[in-house]
Each structure stands twice: as structure tokens, then as C-alpha cells.
Amino acid sequence: MTRDLFNYLFPSVVQAALGLLVLVPVMTYYLDPRDFGVAAILSAVAMPIGPLSSTGFSWVLSAHFYKLTEVEQRVLVFNVLLGEVVLRVFWVSVFALCAPLMLPVIVSGYEAEYLSYFYLVLATALVGGLWPAISYTVVLRQRSSHHAMLELLPWLASAITTVVCLGVLRLSTVTLFVSPLIAGLTSLIISIRYARHETIAWLRRRWLREIVGIGIPSIPANLLELLGGVSGRYFIHRWAGLGPLGIYSHAESYRSMLTMGAKAFSRTFSPSMLQAVTRNSEPINAKGMLRWWYGLLALGGVSVGLFVGDIIGLLTHGKFVAAAPLAIVWFCLVISYSFGLPYSSFLSVHQKNAFMVNSSTLISGVFIGVVAFATYAFGPVGTALAVTLSNVTVQVVRRWYACAIGCERIGETGALAVLVSTIGAYAIGAGLALSLATRLGIFVVSAIAITALTRMRRSPGPTAGEAPTAIERA
């Protein structure tokens, strides 16, 4: 577990460290909230391409991958990738044709250069389409060291492009569109090289039917879930303007950093849970991982709660301090993701995909209205709270159904403890105006207590029927 978790966590740590210490200061020095707002609204318009062109590869691969021979696995991956390419080319073409008529209607204060920016967004969506399925396949094959390298290279290419465009070429808003495109091109090269060696070009009617039967019906749920978050950008843009949207978009970069860590953990945790449920054995190893993870989250929650305002103000030259409460909300979103991991794994093994799809569709659809109301009433903070509450509702419903069909309760006390410690730390840090030394003292005491509690509750290790492997369902 330790080696694989390190390999999966290493790219996230590098990206978070360099992102916070290099990219955030550089980008916020040369760019203003309005620049981020322009990028956010144009990216939001193109985001539906993701769910519309998805084959539901994670559902299909999770249900069948470990039941197949290596040759059949390669055939399955080829069929999944082919479906992804066909759908993505189609939808990118549709959006490109509609863009000249669509953008002036959607974007307030539309300017001529926005169309060029949007075409760069579409190009990024096209060239980056293969990577999610390739990434998932690498993880399923337990090649954690390969995955670490493959995940880090596109990000490094994007980071270097950002620094060069802003610091050397003195470009402005366009940098926010060129850098993701370079990352997408890098991931495309990696994906093609991997697909040449790890797939067998053989169309199979069975897998095409599976993609149509499982993947295509998941599109409405995925689309509505995405719209629940993207609609918030639109509402902020309409009711508050590009400046507040830029603050919200900047806060989403912290969300991405936090989510990367959660995904790194899920790539270690989920396979162990999946295998335990498949073998009908006690998930001892998975429980131990979850306790360790919640201990780490508790440390992170206390530190974020006590120091988030100081850190963001320092890194962004005081331009984006308003993003601090949003960062706290996004940390709570990571807690929600973690809470739902064991129950989603359990339902996947028992092939309850229809329930997960239908419940997510209903909840996401309802919460679009909640996002609209929260945004109108409370601004960007309301948007983030509504998006997080939507995810919490999805995870609670999955937990209820999983327990109803035989899953035991796993890690719930830990999730609640992390949530309380995070909110409590933020209330102390933001509400009591304590000195930095006092807050550092509170953090040290909290860290000692959390570490002691985590060690006391450490799991004794995997059982004989449960191998401590590291794969993923991210």
C-alpha cells in the first residue's frame, strides 16, 4: 500500500506544491480576477462535451476488467477508447459550429476575441479526450509508477507554458487557454503511445452493447451533475459579473489540488474495497486505509481552517483573499467524496449502476435550482455550498442503499470528526482574530491529538483473503 500510495500521491504533491508556490503567485501577479472570469465562463460553455462524449468507461471497466483474460482486457479497452474518440469528435464539431451564434447569447459583454479563445477550449477538449480512460486502465493494471510519470508530464508542460507566456512573452488572458491545450497535446501523445502497446484493435459487439447499455444511459446523470456545478459559474457571471466569477474560478484551483489528493487515495483504497466485496471478505485493509486517510484529512482541515486566509493573501498578492471561505467549502467537498468511497465501491461490485445513475440524475437536476437560489442569495459562497451539498446528498443516498443491501457502515465517525474539526478550526481562525502564534499553538496541539487518535485506531492489517493492492476507481 505504502509504495503505491506514494506513487499515486507524488504527482498530486508536486502539482500542489509547484502550483501554490510558483503558478499561483505568477498567475495572480500578471492576471486579474476578470481574466480568470473570462476563462471560467468560456470553459463552462464547453464543459458539457465531457459527459456528452463519455462512454461511461469507469462503469464498464469496473464491472468486467478483473473477470477477463489479458487479451480480452485489451480488446475491451480498445472498444472503450474508440467510443470515446467517436463521441468526442462529434460533440466538439457540434460546439464549434454553434459557437458563433451561441457565445454572444450566453456571455455577457461578449467581445470578438472570445470566439478564438473558445476554439482553443474546444481543441483542448478534443486532444485530451483519451487520457481519462487510459489513466484508469493504467491504474487497473497496478502500474502506479507509470501512472505517476504519465500524470505529471502534461501538468509540467502546462506549467512551463504558463510561466513562459506570462513572464517571457508577456501574454495575458490567452495564456489561460494555451496552457491547457499544451497539456492536452502532451496527454494525447502519451495516450497514443500507450494505446499502441496495450490495446488490440478488434471491434466486439458485446462491448459495444455494454457501452450503449451502461455508458450511454449514464450521460444524463453525468451531464446534470456537471451542470449543477457549471450552472453556478453562469449564475455568478450573470448576477455578480466576471470579477466575482474570477474569484470563484481561482478558488476552484484549490478544489482541484484537494481533489488530486483524494483521487490519489482512492486509487489505493477502492481496489482493496472492490476485491474484498467481490470475495465477500471483511475489508480490514480498506478500513485501515480509510482511518489513516481521515487522520490526514483532519490535519489538513485544521491547518486550512486556521491559516487559509493568510496563505491565499500571501500567494495572490492580496487580490484573491475573498477565495478563502470558498477553499473551506471545497475541503468539505473532499470529505464528502471520501465518505462515499466505500459505498460506491460496494454498489459497483453488485452492479447497482442503474441506481447510482438514476439517483445522481434526480439529485443533480433538483440542485440546479438550489444552486441558482444560493448564488442569487449568497453569491459565490452560496454557489460552492450548494454544489457541495449536492454531492453530500448523492453520497448519503448511496450509503443508504448500500447498507440496505448488506454493506456495513465504514468510516462514518471519521468523516464526521474531520468535518467538525475543519469547520471548528475555520470558525476559530476567522472569527476570533487570534494572533499567528496562538493559531500555530492550536495547530500543534491539534496535530498531536489527531496523530495519537489515528494510531490508537490503526487497523491490524489485511486479512488472508484480502490483498493490499492498489488500483483505482476515481
- pLDDT tens, 390-436? 999 999 999 999 999 988 888 889 999 999 999 999 999 888 878 88
Q: How far apart are CA 67 and CA 352, in angstroms?
A: 17
Residue with the bigger pLDDT between 64 and 296: it is 296
- pLDDT for residue 468: 34
Can you give the residue ranges of every domain in the chain?
31-216, 220-474
Question: For the purposes of burial, counting CB atoms within 10 Å of the CB of 391, is it exposed (0-12), middle (13-18) or buried (19 or more)?
Answer: buried
DSSP helix/strand/coil, 470: coil
The pLDDT value recorded for residue 215 is: 66
Angle ∠(35,37,40) on CA atoms, nearest 5: 115
- For 62-94, the pLDDT digits (tens) are 767 777 778 888 888 888 888 888 889 999 999
What DSSP string describes 143-161? Answer: -HHHHHHHHHHHHHHHHHH
- Say whether pLDDT at 329 is over 60: yes
pLDDT digits (tens, 9 = 90+) for 108-141: 888 999 999 999 999 999 998 888 888 878 877 7
User: Residue 180: its pLDDT value, please?
Assistant: 95
Distances in whole angstroms, Cα of residue 182 to Cα of each of 42, 102, 116, 200: 18, 26, 16, 28
- Torsion sign across C-alpha atoms 328, 333, 339, 341: negative
Position of cell 510558483? 22
Burial of 282 (0-12, 13-18, 19+ CB in 10 A): middle
- pLDDT for 460 equals 41
What's the rounded Cα separation, in Å, for the pair 332 and 395? 13
Q: How confident is the model at residue 5 (pLDDT cuts 50, 70, 90)?
A: low
Residue 464 has pLDDT above 50, yes or no: no
Q: Please give the Cα distance from 439 to 153 (Å, whole number).
A: 37
Q: How far apart are CA 218 and CA 154, in angstroms?
A: 28
Closest to 390 (Cα-Cα) out of 236, 233, 228, 227? 228
Q: 469 pLDDT exceeds 50?
A: no
Is a pLDDT exceeding 50 seen at residue 314? yes
Q: How many CB atoms lie within 10 A of CB 113?
A: 11
Q: Place 101 in a pLDDT band, splitting at 50, 70 and 90.
A: very high
pLDDT in tens, 206-221: 887 777 777 667 777 6
Per-residue pLDDT at 474: 33
User: Quick one: pLDDT at residue 466?
Assistant: 38
pTM over 0.85? The answer is no
pLDDT confidence bin for 15, thresholds 50/70/90: confident
| pLDDT tens readout for residues 348-403 | 888 787 788 788 888 888 888 999 999 999 999 999 999 999 999 999 999 999 99
